Structure 1
Amino acid sequence: MIVRLSALGLLLYVLGFALFAVSLATPAGAGKTDAVVVLTGGKGRIERGIELMRDKEAKRMLISGADPSVTRGDLARRLGPKSRPILRCCVDLGSESVDTRSNAEETRRWMEQQGYSSLRLVTSDWHMRRASYEFHQDLPEATIIEDAVATRPSLFMLFAEYNKYLLRRAALWLDI
């Protein structure tokens, strides 16, 4: 009986991983929100946020998890001169967060200060499911549009992210 239950558990875990791997988030279509929130840590995320601001999809952008030593000038040099007006007027650098959970907490405080109720969450496709879960936990009343940056994650990266996602869901379910 224990062997059968273990085999069933393993089968569900493997099927869950397969579903997780083949159903990565995609970029969102048009849709205005109060804010764009970009989670640092992956290629193309900030660029996607700037593109959304250029297209006037939001009023303001928060780059959550920015290194405290990074300035708007650093970003302008990296992103090019076309980004300068947007960086000057409409971008806030959040350096309080160190992980996905604290990204959501930092964003909640920022959204409350700004009086915003909707956001477009920008992160990598492989990270979106867990990030979205954290943001829905911290901002249950907010409208959240998932806008994933397409990547080519390795099998190891997907496996690690799937396990983080499962562990976080379990921790919340067990209230720990």
Structure 2
Amino acid sequence: MFRRIFAFLLLGWVLGFAWFALFLPQPAGPVRTDAAVVLTGGKGRIERGIEALDRGWTDQLLVSGVGDQVTQAELAEQHAIPQRLLSCCITLGYDAVDTRSNAAEAAAWVHEHDFRSIRLITSDWHMRRARFDIDQVLDSEVETLTDAVSTEPTMFMLFLEYHKFIARNVVQWLGL
């Protein structure tokens, strides 16, 4: 009986990992949202947020998880952000240090500005956990569009992220 249970759990884990690794979230198209939230930490994320602003897919952008020492001018220079966007439309969030605090920072910003829809921008391999965390703290009336930045993650990166995703779901399910 123990072997059957173990085999069933192992099969579930293998199939879950295959789904997680083979069907990564994709970039969103030109869908309009009130605001966009970029979670820092990966290549192409900030650029995707700037693209969403520049193309008129969104009006405001929060860059969550910016290092304490980073200024708007440094960010603009590093990512070639036009001054017209920097002065009107971009907020730097300095409070987040991980995905859960990114979600909390984003939810506070969304609530403060009374946005009804957001574009969540992060790496494809990170999107499922980021979406899970943001769904836990955002008002249910706020619509979230996932806009994944395509990457080429290593198998090890996917393995770690899959287990973080499982752990977050278990922690939520247990109410911890």
RMSD of equivalent CA atoms: 0.9
Mapping 1:74-153, distance limit 5 Å: 74-80=74-80, 83-139=82-138, 140-153=140-153
CA–CA separation in structure 2 for the residues paired with 1:146 and 1:120: 6
2:16 matched to which residue of 1?
16
Offset from partner CA, 1:49-78 (integer Å, 9 cap, x none) = 001000111111000011111111001111
Unaligned runs of 5+ in 2: none
Unaligned runs of 5+ in 1: none
TM-score by length of 2: 0.97
List, as ranges, runs of 4+ consecutive aligned residues in structure 1 with deviation greater than 2 Å. Answer: none
CA–CA separation in structure 1 for the residues paired with 2:115 and 2:54: 19
CA–CA separation in structure 2 for the residues paired with 1:118 and 1:32: 9
Deviation at 1:146, TM superposition (A): 0.2
Aligned residues: 175
CA–CA separation in structure 2 for the residues paired with 1:161 and 1:141: 28
CA–CA separation in structure 2 for the residues paired with 1:65 and 1:164: 19
Identity %: 49
2:51 matched to which residue of 1?
51
> Which sits farther off after the overlay, 60-69 or 136-145?
136-145
2:6 matched to which residue of 1?
6
1:72–1:88 CA contact under 8 A, matched in 2: no
Deviation at 1:84, TM superposition (A): 2.2
